[in-house]
């Protein structure tokens, strides 16, 4: 039947998620949707990082028992990524709201004040 | 004499220049007397070292060789700095530092209270350093650098009172006219460099002066090459020494302070042209055509300048024309001596030395008495506030020292036995007679005119009644002159010293010692030479001619038995021709400057500038604007588009890495 | 290298595939649904799926955070924003670079997949570990939470504190931005 799940599976999933997020971030007019797409990309990265931590790190960092805890460095970085994502989404949505109040739109194509 | 001591000759005045211009003038009083004292001290040190060099080269066969120091090495090209010390170098060192020292002492009095006091001494130090460097240089590039530096100093010092339009214009004129000659010299240097390949096989460097000598002696360079080289070098000499047809700058250069004229435009820088010919004499010797040209130009200039000197009313200009004339004399001496001695069939090296001895001996004597003449006229100028001789007169009583020293210098210039000028002039006359009677006639004519014009100055300035001095504020400085008075001791003492030198400097070769020092001839007893020369007819002829000149000047300006005005009326066309300097200024101005340069060349430049240069600049601007307009369309302000571009860029990089990496 | 041995079971494989397809479909919906509110709800589904993936990667702590922070807090924020901007009715239109962006994302997907498959991960995975090391790895992955806490306040304490400052700044910035004048 299906091959056992390995690193490649997680990475391809991560790549798919990232590509969908990229498409949304580049192609969508609605600023909120753009932010959501960016969250998708963050998630894709987290999946990849944790998968590396799970499959690659033991072969490279766990040669000595007393450094075994560094296996989880990938997970720790995922924590930081989530933190940054939270900050980013809070600020991003605040910006969207502020712009909406000012110009009554959330379409990024209409946010071109710098051009004028 | 160690090499360090020889370098010190150059570096002492240079240090003085640096200290004055970087320390004293910016941080202390610019009227500070220390600038002058420092200059005097430095140049005094240089003089002592020069005398040591003179002693070291006496009896020393050939040059004292020090290995030059490598400066720039590019591939096989090797440019080196070094000192070429031989008797010619030593004698020039003594002349330059000696006259310079006297002039600096004199300047302490002359420049007192001038707003540019420190600047003046800085420039003077720099000039002295450059002139010494020019003399010491062992390769042509170094020589050329110092050659241009003295030109620069000359420019700076002629235009010292730059607020006067005449001074500024004269400075420009001097610089531009000498540049014409310098260009010839530069071409000669490039030509030498071009011929490096011909002599490199012998391990010689075409830019090193000793190597050039050796190349010429061993016949590595053909006569045609040497002729072109000689012409180029002589062009430089013509410019610097104000020989016909580039003589026009020197009279105007009198706009500078008088001590500057004494040092630069009488004793040293203008003599650099003569020095240059002497330095490269082997080249001239091997190409007799150039030697003939040197002799002819020298002889022609001597007469030509003397005629103009006879009619000028400006005391400094008379002396300036006299300088041109005497420089022509030196060139004549070098040329005919070279030709004459060559005919007797010596080997080249000895010929060169003998001929150089004759020319340089006159340079040596001339430096002292001509500097003295300038200092004397500066002293008169200082006292009366004018340089116009028609406003002077009767200064004999109030300025006895100036009078006596001026007369001594005048007699020396006229060539009266036993003063210095007599000895060197006699040598030139003798060798000219032997070689070329026409040139001898020119030289004799010059002797007559020289005696006439210099005693015209003496009678107009010092005899008769005082005619009022400066009408306006013509003087070089502001302090009011009530009655003319003798100059302060600080000015008189150098004049006295120089007058002693103007008497005795000629004695050096009375017994042939100078020629021996220069490497040719033999000595005889001093008294044998001193009086024995009077047994020959030639000195008598020359002295009678000179006496006639003096007598004529006395009749016209001393006793007024012949009216100068009526003479001027009778020979009006000639007088006007002389007075207007043969219309050379007008000729150059109209023919070359206005017609050829301004209307021809510069108009072409302007066309080139507006069409090609401006066109290129405007075209570039237009292309930039057009490109900007095009690229601006991409700058939509749409953040997502920028993200898209980034993505495309990443994809391109990935493609490149995958398929090309 | 099987710290738990669970991965080889067909059940695990099945669950993985279901979760993965769910995540992709949910993400696809986020981008392509016309209703932004529904897109936000699909995003929550995607977040939950990723949390499941974390579980399958022996990252239980991260899974918990994912649910709490993403599926809980961030999703709520996004839904608030959607509602507050009242733009729901204008749908979820694309801009005029849609095709180019789609092509670009497709190319990226293609390249990533190509690279992932072409890379010989096996060399790293099959590295021989000593039995003690294998035991250590198994122990670490059996209970990750205390080790993550240890890492955060010991080795990574500086990034940890910087992150807290960042969060504080973000909160302040957000308040300043949305405050009524």
Report chain B residues whose CB lies below 8 A from the CB of C111: 651, 654, 658
CB B232 within 8 A of CB B191: yes
Q: Are A43 and C70 inside 8 Å of each other by CB?
A: yes
Instruction: Work out the minimum CA distance from C108 to partner chain B, whole angstroms.
Output: 7
**Any domain includes C2:** yes
Report chain B residues whose CB lies below 8 A from the CB of A27: 640
**Any domain includes A25:** yes
- Give chain B's residues under pLDDT 50: 473-481
Residue C130 DSSP one-character state = P
Percent of chain C with pLDDT over 70: 88
Last residue of one domain, picked from the residues C52, C72, C93: C93
Instruction: Work out the minimum CA distance from A111 to partner chain C, whole angstroms.
Output: 13
Return the SS3 of B84.
Answer: strand
Last residue of one domain, picked from the residues C27, C61, C93: C93
| C149 and C89 within one domain | no
Instruction: Work out the minimum CA distance from C101 to partner chain B, whole angstroms.
Output: 7
Alpha-carbon gap, residue B110 to B249, rounded angstroms: 24
**Any domain includes A55:** yes
Q: Are C95 and B638 inside 8 Å of each other by CB?
A: yes
| C80 and C164 within one domain | no
Q: What is the pLDDT of residue A40?
A: 94
Residue whose token pair is 């570990």: C129
Return the SS3 of B32.
Answer: coil
φ, ψ of residue B507 to 5 degrees: the values are -65, -20
Q: Which three-class secondary structure string do you get for B527-586?
A: HHHHHHHHHCHHHHHHHHHHHHHHHHHHHHHHCCCCCHHHHHHHCHHHHHHHHCHHHHHH
**Any domain includes A72:** yes
**Any domain includes C77:** yes
Number of domains comprising chain A: 1
Which carries the bigger pLDDT value, residue B75 or residue C146?
C146
C100 to chain B: nearest residue by CA?
B644
Q: Is B394 left (phi over 0), alpha (psi -120 to 50) or beta?
A: left
Helix axis angle for B348-384 and B269-279, nearest 10°, is 180
Number of domains comprising chain C: 2
| Alpha helices (H) in C96-130, listed in sequence order | 98-118, 122-125
Beta-bridge mates of residue B64: B85
C96 to chain B: nearest residue by CA?
B641
Neighbours of B498 (CB within 10 A): 31
Tabulate helix, strand, coil % of chain C (nearest 5).
80, 0, 20
- For chains A and C, CB pairs below 8 A equal 282
Helices (H) and strands (E) in chain B, counts: 31, 4
Identify which of A22, A115, A116 has the shortest CB distance to residue B647: A22
Question: Would an 8 Å CB–CB cutoff place A106 in contact with chain B?
Answer: no
Instruction: Kindly report the CATH number assigned to the domain that includes residue A34.
Output: 1.10.287.3510
Check pLDDT > 70 for residue C150.
Answer: yes
Report chain A residues whose CB lies below 8 A from the CB of C148: 72, 75-76, 79
Report chain A residues whose CB lies below 8 A from the CB of C150: 69
Instruction: Work out the minimum CA distance from C52 to partner chain A, whole angstroms.
Output: 10
A112 to chain B: nearest residue by CA?
B637
Torsion of CA B373, B378, B382, B383, to 10 degrees: 10
C107 to chain B: nearest residue by CA?
B651
Neighbours of A98 (CB within 10 A): 15
Alpha-carbon gap, residue B338 to B226, rounded angstroms: 15
Nearest to B12 by CA among B145, B130, B102: B130
Q: Are B651 and C107 inside 8 Å of each other by CB?
A: yes
Give the structural domain span for A58.
Answer: 7-110
Burial label for A82, CB within 10 Å (0-12, 13-18, 19+), is: buried
Residue B79 DSSP one-character state = E
Q: What is the pLDDT of residue C49?
A: 93
Q: What is the pLDDT of residue B471?
A: 57
List all residues 6 or more positions away from C154 whose beta carbon is below 8 Å from its beta carbon.
Answer: none
Residue B73 DSSP one-character state = E
Q: What is the pLDDT of residue B479?
A: 45
Provide the chain A residues 63-82 that lie in CB contact (below 8 A) with chain C.
63-65, 68-73, 75-76, 78-80, 82
Identify which of C95, C107, C111 has the shortest CB distance to residue B640: C95
Identify which of B638, B644, B654 has the shortest CB distance to residue C100: B644
| C86 and C21 within one domain | yes
Give the structural domain span for C30.
Answer: 1-93
Mutate to test the interface with C, among B634, B636, B644 (most CBs of C within 10 A): B644
Question: Would an 8 Å CB–CB cutoff place B654 in contact with chain A?
Answer: no
Identify which of B635, B639, B647 has the shortest CB distance to residue A108: B639
Least confident piece of the model among A43-57, B2-16, C130-144:
C130-144
Q: What is the pLDDT of residue B475?
A: 45
**Any domain includes A116:** no
Identify which of C7, C31, C62 has the shortest CB distance to residue A37: C31
Alpha-carbon gap, residue B88 to B85, rounded angstroms: 8
Average pLDDT over residues C63-70: 91
Total count of residues recorded for chain C? 181
CB B277 within 8 A of CB B337: no
**Any domain includes A1:** no
Identify which of C1, C109, C152 has the shortest CB distance to residue A58: C1
Alpha-carbon gap, residue B304 to B446, rounded angstroms: 9
Helix H or strand E segment including B85: strand B84-85
Q: What is the pLDDT of residue B144?
A: 93
**Any domain includes C80:** yes
- CA–CA distances in Å: residue B311 to residues B308, B319, B466, B577: 6, 12, 20, 10
Chains interfacing with C (3 or more CB pairs < 8 Å):
A, B
Return the SS3 of B474.
Answer: coil
- CA–CA distances in Å: residue A106 to residues A42, B215, B638, C87, C88: 22, 89, 14, 7, 11
> Tokens standing for A16?
């798919």
Question: Would an 8 Å CB–CB cutoff place A102 in contact with chain C?
Answer: no
- CA–CA distances in Å: residue C169 to residues A81, B52, C78, C166: 16, 83, 20, 5
Q: What is the pLDDT of residue B473?
A: 45
Report chain C residues whose CB lies below 8 A from the CB of B647: 101, 104, 108
| C85 and C2 within one domain | yes
| C70 and C6 within one domain | yes
Instruction: Work out the minimum CA distance from A30 to partner chain B, whole angstroms.
Output: 12
Check pLDDT > 50 for residue C1.
Answer: no
Return the SS3 of B346.
Answer: coil
Return the SS3 of B406.
Answer: helix
> Tokens standing for B528?
């044998």
Instruction: Work out the minimum CA distance from A61 to partner chain C, whole angstroms.
Output: 10
Question: Would an 8 Å CB–CB cutoff place A95 in contact with chain B?
Answer: no
Question: Would an 8 Å CB–CB cutoff place C76 in contact with chain A?
Answer: no
**Any domain includes A97:** yes
Alpha-carbon gap, residue B241 to B254, rounded angstroms: 15
Average pLDDT over residues C70-95: 80
Q: Are C7 and A87 inside 8 Å of each other by CB?
A: no
Alpha-carbon gap, residue B252 to B174, rounded angstroms: 8
Neighbours of A92 (CB within 10 A): 22
**Any domain includes A36:** yes
Alpha-carbon gap, residue B268 to B46, rounded angstroms: 15
List all residues 6 or more positions away from B437 whose beta carbon is below 8 Å from its beta carbon.
Answer: none
Alpha-carbon gap, residue B74 to B154, rounded angstroms: 33
Percent of chain B with pLDDT over 90: 11
Q: What is the pLDDT of residue B134?
A: 92
Q: What is the pLDDT of residue B147?
A: 92
Q: What is the pLDDT of residue B477?
A: 45
C97 to chain B: nearest residue by CA?
B641
Q: Are C14 and A2 inside 8 Å of each other by CB?
A: yes
**Any domain includes C16:** yes
Check pLDDT > 50 for residue C93.
Answer: yes
Q: What is the CA radius of gyration of chain A?
A: 19
Q: Are C133 and A18 inside 8 Å of each other by CB?
A: no
Identify which of C104, C151, C171 has the shortest CB distance to residue A69: C151
Check pLDDT > 80 for residue A63.
Answer: no
- CA–CA distances in Å: residue B259 to residues B51, B274, B327, C125, C164: 23, 21, 19, 95, 82
Helices (H) and strands (E) in chain A, counts: 4, 0
Last residue of one domain, picked from the residues C93, C128, C162: C93
Q: Are B654 and C111 inside 8 Å of each other by CB?
A: yes
ipTM above 0.90, yes or no: no
Q: Are B651 and C101 inside 8 Å of each other by CB?
A: no
Check pLDDT > 90 for residue C83.
Answer: no
At residue C20 the predicted structure's pLDDT band, cuts being 50, 70 and 90, is: very high
Q: What is the pLDDT of residue C88?
A: 59
CB B334 within 8 A of CB B476: no
Mutate to test the interface with A, among C80, C136, C152 (most CBs of A within 10 A): C136
Distance separating the N- and C-terminal Cα atoms of chain B: 70
| C80 and C5 within one domain | yes
Alpha-carbon gap, residue B517 to B88, rounded angstroms: 9
Nearest to B72 by CA among B256, B205, B210: B205
Nearest to C97 by CA among B646, B38, A44, A51: B646
CB B175 within 8 A of CB B149: no
* Mean pLDDT across chain C: 84
CB B365 within 8 A of CB B506: yes
Q: What is the pLDDT of residue B572?
A: 76
| C89 and C1 within one domain | yes
Q: What is the pLDDT of residue B520?
A: 63
List all residues 6 or more positions away from B478 whose beta carbon is below 8 Å from its beta carbon.
Answer: none
**Any domain includes A2:** no
**Any domain includes C102:** no
Say if strands B84-85 and B77-81 run parallel, antiparallel, or are unpaired: unpaired
**Any domain includes C3:** yes
């Amino acid at each position: 039947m299906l091959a056992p799940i390995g690193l490649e599976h997680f990475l391809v999933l991560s790549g798919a998620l990232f590509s969908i997020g990229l498409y949304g971030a580049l192609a969508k007019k609605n600023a909120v949707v753009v932010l959501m797409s960016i969250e998708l990309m963050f998630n894709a990265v987290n999946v990849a990082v944790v998968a590396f931590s799970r499959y690659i790190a033991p072969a490279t960092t766990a040669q000595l028992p007393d450094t075994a805890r560094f296996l989880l460095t990938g997970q720790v970085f995922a924590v930081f990524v989530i933190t940054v994502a939270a900050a980013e989404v809070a600020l991003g949505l605040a910006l969207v709201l502020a712009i909406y109040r000012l110009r009554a739109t959330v379409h990024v194509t209409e946010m071109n004040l710098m051009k004028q | 004499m160690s090499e360090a001591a020889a370098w010190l000759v150059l570096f002492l005045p240079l240090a003085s220049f640096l200290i004055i211009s970087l320390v004293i003038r910016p941080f202390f009083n610019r009227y500070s007397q220390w600038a002058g004292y420092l200059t005097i001290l430095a140049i005094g040190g240089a003089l002592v070292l020069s005398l040591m060099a003179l002693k070291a080269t006496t009896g020393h066969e050939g040059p004292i060789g020090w290995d030059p120091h490598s400066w720039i090495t590019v591939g096989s090209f090797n440019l080196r700095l070094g000192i070429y010390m031989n008797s010619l170098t030593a004698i020039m060192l003594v002349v330059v530092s000696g006259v310079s020292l006297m002039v600096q002492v004199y300047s302490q009095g002359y420049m007192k209270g001038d707003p540019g006091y420190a600047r003046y001494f800085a420039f003077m130090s720099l000039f002295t350093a450059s002139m010494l460097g020019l003399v010491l240089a062992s390769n042509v590039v170094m020589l050329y650098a110092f050659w241009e530096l003295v030109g620069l100093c000359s420019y700076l010092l002629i235009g010292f009172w730059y607020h006067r339009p005449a001074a500024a214009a004269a400075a420009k004129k001097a610089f531009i006219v000498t540049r014409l000659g310098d260009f010839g010299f530069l071409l000669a240097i490039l030509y030498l460099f071009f011929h490096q390949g011909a002599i490199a096989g012998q391990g010689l460097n075409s830019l090193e002066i000793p190597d050039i000598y050796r190349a010429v002696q061993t016949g590595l360079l053909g006569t045609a090459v040497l002729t072109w080289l000689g012409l180029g070098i002589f062009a430089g000499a013509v410019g610097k020494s104000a020989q016909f047809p580039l003589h026009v700058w020197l009279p105007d250069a009198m706009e500078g302070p008088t001590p500057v004229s004494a040092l630069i435009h009488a004793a040293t820088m203008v003599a650099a042209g003569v020095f240059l010919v002497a330095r490269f004499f082997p080249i001239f010797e091997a190409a007799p055509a150039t030697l003939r040209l040197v002799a002819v130009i020298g002889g022609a200039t001597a007469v030509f300048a003397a005629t103009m000197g006879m009619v000028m009313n400006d005391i400094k200009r008379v002396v300036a024309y006299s300088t041109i004339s005497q420089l022509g004399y030196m060139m004549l001496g070098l040329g005919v001596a070279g030709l004459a001695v060559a005919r007797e069939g010596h080997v080249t090296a000895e010929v060169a030395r003998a001929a150089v001895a004759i020319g340089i001996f006159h340079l040596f004597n001339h430096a002292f008495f001509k500097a003295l003449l300038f200092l004397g006229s500066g002293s008169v100028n200082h006292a009366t506030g004018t340089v116009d001789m028609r406003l002077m007169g009767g200064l004999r009583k109030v300025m006895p020292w100036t009078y006596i020293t001026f007369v001594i210098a005048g007699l020396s210039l006229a060539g009266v036995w036993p003063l210095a000028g007599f000895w060197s002039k006699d040598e030139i006359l003798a060798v000219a007679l032997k070689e070329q009677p026409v040139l001898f006639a020119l030289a004799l004519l010059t002797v007559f005119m020289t005696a006439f014009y210099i005693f015209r100055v003496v009678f107009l300035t010092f005899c008769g009644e005082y005619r009022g001095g400066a009408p306006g504020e013509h003087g070089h400085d502001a302090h009011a002159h009530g009655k003319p008075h003798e100059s302060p001791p600080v000015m008189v003492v150098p004049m006295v010293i120089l007058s002693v030198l103007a008497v005795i400097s000629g004695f050096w070769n009375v017994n042939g010692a100078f020629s021996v020092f220069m490497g040719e001839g033999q000595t005889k007893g001093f008294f044998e030479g001193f009086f024995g020369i009077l047994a020959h007819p030639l000195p008598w002829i020359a002295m009678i001619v000179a006496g006639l000149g003096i007598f004529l000047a006395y009749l016209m300006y001393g006793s007024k038995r012949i009216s100068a005005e009526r003479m001027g009326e009778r020979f009006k066309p000639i007088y006007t021709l002389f007075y207007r300097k043969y219309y050379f200024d007008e000729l150059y101005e109209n023919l070359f400057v206005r017609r050829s340069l301004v209307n021809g060349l510069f108009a072409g430049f302007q066309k080139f500038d507006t069409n090609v240069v401006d066109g290129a600049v405007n075209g570039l601007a237009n292309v930039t604007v057009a490109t900007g307009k095009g690229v601006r369309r991409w700058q939509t302000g749409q953040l997502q588009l920028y993200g898209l571009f980034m993505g495309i860029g990443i994809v391109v990089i990935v493609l490149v890495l995958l398929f090309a990496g | 290298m099987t710290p738990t041995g669970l991965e080889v079971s067909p059940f695990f494989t099945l669950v993985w595939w279901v979760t993965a397809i769910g995540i992709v479909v949910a993400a696809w919906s986020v981008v392509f649904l016309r209703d932004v509110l529904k897109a936000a709800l699909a995003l929550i589904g995607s977040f939950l799926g990723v949390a499941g993936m974390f579980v399958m990667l022996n990252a239980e702590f991260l899974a918990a955070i994912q649910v709490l922070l993403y599926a809980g807090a961030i999703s709520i924020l996004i839904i608030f924003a959607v509602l507050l901007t009242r733009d729901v009715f204008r749908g979820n239109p694309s801009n005029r670079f849609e095709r180019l962006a789609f092509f670009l994302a497709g190319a990226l997907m293609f390249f990533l997949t190509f690279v992932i498959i072409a890379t010989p991960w096996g060399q790293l995975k099959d590295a021989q570990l000593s039995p003690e090391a294998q035991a250590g790895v198994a122990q670490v992955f059996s209970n990750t939470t205390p080790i993550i806490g240890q890492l955060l306040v010991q080795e990574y304490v500086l990034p940890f504190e910087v992150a807290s400052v960042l969060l504080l700044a973000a909160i302040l910035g957000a308040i300043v931005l949305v405050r009524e004048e």
